[in-house]
Structure 1
């Protein structure tokens, strides 16, 4: 099978220099600098099929952006095999960049002081897009992202949400088969996020565009991606479907009780002593949360005992969220699946 992203044993190392104190130390550093090798990405292997939407997640410093930079040709790997769109991104950079779109949430590809549409025209020339192809494709992009009223404005006068929609449109001027999105919804309000998500779903369905998405907002992953890749300390600790992740690690429920009168954890543990339940204090006054397994009989027994021994004003049963599942995996340092 031909993969649009085919990575094997990818590794990237950086030199980290340390400075010695004092004037004498500064002179010594001029002649003999001390440094250590720091691996940012270690032994990453990843295969992505055409048309997939993959969430690439991890904590700060896990190696997500470094991986993206190697896949887009910005950085050269220390070792390992990288083939993206059938090319080596770093060695065939000029030809390769014609086949990808990239959006970095904290970087801009638009010119700051000129109108958005002028930036689009410049990028059209860079990517050698014909007038007809530009018209056919970009009219749809501009309308769907609702950026028509922004085209005459300089980029510096746009809000963050407006600029990010324009950045996304700029990355799609040449209608690339592969789109890299690095924190594209950072700092955006809910309405703008929804608009961007719907647009990404549409281009994926219409053009079979492959999307690799890195983000800390797991609601983006849940809304867009069926597959998720988790990175920790430069290594992949999970690569599989979001459904499997939830079914294997989200097999718990939370029962939140709001009590009329204050109670104690000793009292709650006493009435549920023979059950597998973990009690924790809720955020509101007189509220407690029971973390239990997904068995219906256990849930109903806990509710029955608590209601029989206490006056409650409210109760909620919640599934464990994807965000909490991921947080627990990182906190416990578990290698889930390769």
Structure 2
């Protein structure tokens, strides 16, 4: 396994930020690690990477003990904290990579050339980090985490604050890295990241594991619904007849209508086929359930 956690606890005074976590992640897997703010996600990541010492329990990352073998582990993992930088603020981006290459004792230039092409860094490699846009800086952070070709990439809110185009570019790149064999642990509130990048979910709340499975499995367990937003070519009567859905909104005199449905009860294709019998579709979008609402619902069912 790339990550093995057993009975992991971390106390801050009398507060248990992580309380008895046990899970494993196989090599090559892509796993979402989600939960509401304060659930213990960042604390877990800090123990996985050797930044914090567990109060109790055991953890092994890449087969190593993170605190005792932190230097060896640093050569085998990459970490991106969305709100903390590993780049030198006043230096050109290229100089940060030069420094990281020296730290890892590697010739960084061939790998940087590859990453610069895939992440489109070429236009700002010689720009000081403080002058980069948020999207440029995050791409630079991901390149820094992957400069030494790690086995495991850990991402803590990597797309926070990014525009749609920047998010999609980063997601596509991470899909490529996963296909190349890099294991991925993604802590995020963004359900788009979870759906595009991961195959499995670990949900935590108050430091405890509440769910281990797929996103659709989680939605089925808590009864969470997705919203299909239909923009029609012409106004239409309320679409309240579509099997497996619930009409939750009609706007602009019937030009836009919102249908709620639970994954597993029907499909988008089936809904569209039914809608087509009564109205002409112009465009559609899908609104995913809010992750904090899903977690709250999960815990309300278990109490």
TM-score when scaled to structure 2? 0.81
Residues 254 and 175 (structure 1), Cα distance of their counterparts in 2 relative to 1, 3 Å cut: closer
Find out whether 1:94 has 2:71 as its counterpart: yes
Residues 288 and 121 (structure 1), Cα distance of their counterparts in 2 relative to 1, 3 Å cut: closer
Q: What are the within-5 Å matches in structure 2 for residues 80-91 of structure 1?
A: 80-91=57-68
Superposition CA RMSD, Å? 3.6
Shift of 1:244: 2.8
- Tell me, what secondary structure is at the counterpart of 1:334? helix
Contact 1:41 1:233 in 2 (8 A): yes
- Look up the match of 1:267: none
Q: Deviations over 1:225-280 (max 9, x none)?
A: 1111111111111111224334555686768899x89x9xxxxxxx99xx999775
Residues 13 and 222 (structure 1), Cα distance of their counterparts in 2 relative to 1, 3 Å cut: same
Q: What are the within-5 Å matches in structure 2 for residues 251-290 of structure 1?
A: none
Rounded to whole Å, the distance in 2 between the matches of 1:255 and 1:210 is 32
Gaps of 5+ in 2: none
Residues 288 and 83 (structure 1), Cα distance of their counterparts in 2 relative to 1, 3 Å cut: same
- Look up the match of 1:175: 149
Contact 1:98 1:127 in 2 (8 A): yes
Number of equivalent positions: 291
Structure whose CA Rg is larger: 1
Gaps of 5+ in 1: 16-36, 264-270, 305-311
Q: 1:39 aligns with which of 5, 16, 23?
A: 16
Rounded to whole Å, the distance in 1 between the matches of 2:44 and 2:156 is 11
Rounded to whole Å, the distance in 1 between the matches of 2:136 and 2:285 is 35
Rounded to whole Å, the distance in 1 between the matches of 2:79 and 2:91 is 21
Q: 2:200 aligns with which of 227, 230, 241?
A: 227
Q: What are the within-5 Å matches in structure 2 for residues 68-217 of structure 1?
A: 68-129=45-106, 131=107, 134-206=108-180, 208-217=181-190
Residues 314 and 137 (structure 1), Cα distance of their counterparts in 2 relative to 1, 3 Å cut: same
Shift of 1:323: 2.2
Rounded to whole Å, the distance in 1 between the matches of 2:155 and 2:251 is 35
